[in-house]
Amino acid sequence: MIREEFKSKNGIIGKSKEINDLVDIIMQVAQSDISVLIYGESGVGKEVFAKGIHSFSNRANKPMISVNCGAIPEGIIESELFGHKKGSFTGAVESRKGYFEIADHSTLFLDEIGELPLTTQVKLLRAIETNEFMKLGAETVSKVDVRIIAATNKDLQKEVDSRRFREDLYFRLKAVSLTIPPLRKRKYDIEELAK
């Protein structure tokens, strides 16, 4: 597949060098299972690029699972990510799969990863490193095969320096880092977007 065909198929609009360079990198890394960390301001299209990576990967036959980490309350984020067994906490009237289990053999897109609480970051790191997790209330470990793509509008290195984000998780996520520049820094793309 050539670059323009890839852009057209995935809704990536832009002819600037910045966009073309990003697409070239995506087309190179998509076939591997390496973690990708996407940086960019709100609205630059981080999820569009994540979907492009997934669509060009060996996991494209299953849907990519998207999670906005900043939109899930701290009290239930572990249950949302890893699932729970019936009766594991008040209100758990039935067992439920978490996003990791739902994304088995697919891609898990963790948007706004910088919003994750530190306690959840520890469990996320373990799940990424071992491809294993434990549901809340479970006595056995579940095994999955999940590719992680994460996105943030925060400078995670500054978050690490401020001890708000785990350094080991940061290094695990940023095997490949992509930065999507805002439109004001690639004015060459405005005309094509307007069309």
Burial class (CB in 10 A: 0-12, 13-18, 19+), 56: buried
The string of DSSP codes covering 30-62 is TTS---EEEE--TTS-HHHHHHHHHHTSTTTTS
Q: What is the pTM of this model?
A: 0.91
Q: What is the amino acid identity at position 168?
A: D
Ranges of residues in the chain with a pLDDT under 70 are: 87-88, 90, 92
Quick: pLDDT tens for 75-117. Answer: 889 889 998 877 667 676 788 899 999 999 999 999 999 999 9
What residues pair up with 151 in beta bridges, in sequence order? Answer: 38
